Chains A and B, each alone.
Chain A
């Protein structure tokens, strides 16, 4: 309870939490409020917002319901962000732990690979990967994770380096635990908090990267994403600006919400650690 109160101390964290809660609610309600395919043609094309109350946010060029797309887009955008972050954190934590714990040649090799990934601009890597494998939601997630795991790997490794010298690790060695077991059972959990602190940045970057890929025509055409909506609406930026502004505002609010809430969490946990 104390934790929550601490978290809710700043208006930024509250705003972030509210935005994220709204987003999750939208994602969960999408199928209830708008059952069926959000890409189905629902009415007259290019209907302006607030004209027809059955289609409150209007329709796009083919006559698809913008509000339905917005709700279902919340789901995919969120899914892309969370999945990419989860994948990047998992890979990063594993690589970082192995490198830090094993040391020596293994460390050297893993870190050079990490360096190699960091030398290539992550967006370029995502672009090449998606063009080559073909854009589907899973591939987009993988492509984003591919460029994002190096940060967590470095942080995890640095943490592990400091943890592995501690007494409880030495103790585990003495009782004959398998090194891998020590690494993942004893060391990794202790190294995680600073790694997890990176998650909000990765989620936000993932949502933006998906939008930029859609802009270049590399989105999954079977799913609605906000990035895809903005990309499609941009050709009509001057004739029907609402088509890109509505998902654009949603996107900005989401990224903002993720950042603010993430920061709140980091500050709260930092304060907790400071107390303990």
Chain B
């Protein structure tokens, strides 16, 4: 337990540096952008020189970069993410409004790709090199190779437009006043297609890792011993091989969770899901620096928390990891 705490402390200190690098890096990147929030805004309005000057002043863009960065960091120290130029609202509210949708989408897609992927991986890895193994492994790769937006568009045409089984997009039926279970069911219905599109793309990852892991485990002594004991193949696969092959997949979960936020940019836009990925894209287009910083910080904190959980779990499960270098 103390070991876990030491690790936690080390990790937290490290994380603060990481977050600082992320904030400053993102800030500098957006500062280097041609065109600022006012340029992005006047695309839709036009306006004369006086109006443009007025806007720059109101949005604080006439201050130097250093002043703005300092102000931002100072506010951040007070846990204030600032005001969004695009929405004229506090960024915290804007993000909190969308975060649940994205978490729901990413969480469900992770469960789908992890669950189905590892299950199929076990199925494929039970007889490495067999027909099923090859079919599943190539089939999942092909899915992985389809661009997500294209898969999404095709799913919409087939299941929402032609068959009309599912809604074309959104997170729930608009203005429906549904509550409780009924609302949950409604949201679930809306999530089927986007979760499938996002989940199927990452399916191959888990499937292939699982089967590779299993191929590895098959060769190990304790499996040979189990076979020698005459245990049924099914029992060996589930209790010995799959179980041991599952561990590296858990580590993968942490890493993958970040990447999915990237993938959800496109999926959220195709399926009109009001989530963080789409918001991030809008923030870049609008040159809304504080909003993009807020989103990236949110995702960074999310990653740090997930990795921390994974580390702690490892430290608790496997005393060898401890506070060593392994996790640096």
Contacts and interface: CB of A to CB of B under 8 A. Distances in A.
Direct contact of A and B (CB under 8 A): yes
Interface of A: 11-12, 107-108, 111-113, 115-116, 118-129, 131-134, 147, 161, 204, 208, 211-212, 215-216, 227, 230-231, 234, 237-238, 244, 248, 251-256, 259-260
Contact of B328 (A111, A121, A216): A111
Given A111-B328, A132-B30, A212-B266, A12 B138 contact: yes
* Secondary structure type dominating chain A contacts: helix
B282 to A, nearest CB: 11
Nearest to A204: B145
B142 to A, nearest CB: 6
A252 B280 contact: no
Given A127-B265, A127-B281, A234-B150, A112 B21 contact: yes
Interface in B1-40: 14, 17-19, 21-22, 25-26, 29-30, 32-34
B142 A216 contact: no
B280 A132 contact: no
Nearest to B299: A121
Interface in B246-287: 255, 258-263, 265-266, 269, 277, 280-281, 284-285
Nearest to B261: A121
Contacts of B261: 121, 124
A116 B25 contact: yes
A212 B149 contact: yes
Contacts of B149: 212, 215, 231, 234
23 contacts: A108-B328, A113-B21, A118-B258, A118-B303, A119-B299, A119-B303, A120-B299, A120-B300, A121-B299, A132-B284, A133-B32, A204-B145, A212-B147, A215-B147, A244-B150, A248-B146, A251-B146, A251-B147, A252-B142, A255-B145, A256-B141, A256-B142, A259-B141
Interface string B145-176: 11111100110010000000000000000000
Contacts of B145: 204, 208, 251-256, 259
Interface string B117-139: 00000000000000000100110
Interface of B: 14, 17-19, 21-22, 25-26, 29-30, 32-34, 134, 137-138, 141-142, 144-150, 153-154, 157, 255, 258-263, 265-266, 269, 277, 280-281, 284-285, 292, 296, 299-300, 303-304, 325, 328
B204 to A, nearest CB: 9
A232 to B, nearest CB: 12
A68 to B, nearest CB: 22
A123 B265 contact: yes
B303 A12 contact: no
A116 B296 CA distance: 11
Contacts of A131: 33, 284-285
A119 B148 contact: no
B138 A128 contact: no
Residue picked from A11, A107, A128, A147, most chain B C-beta under 10 Å: A128
B27 to A, nearest CB: 12
Given A12-B138, A112-B17, A230-B147, A161 B325 contact: yes
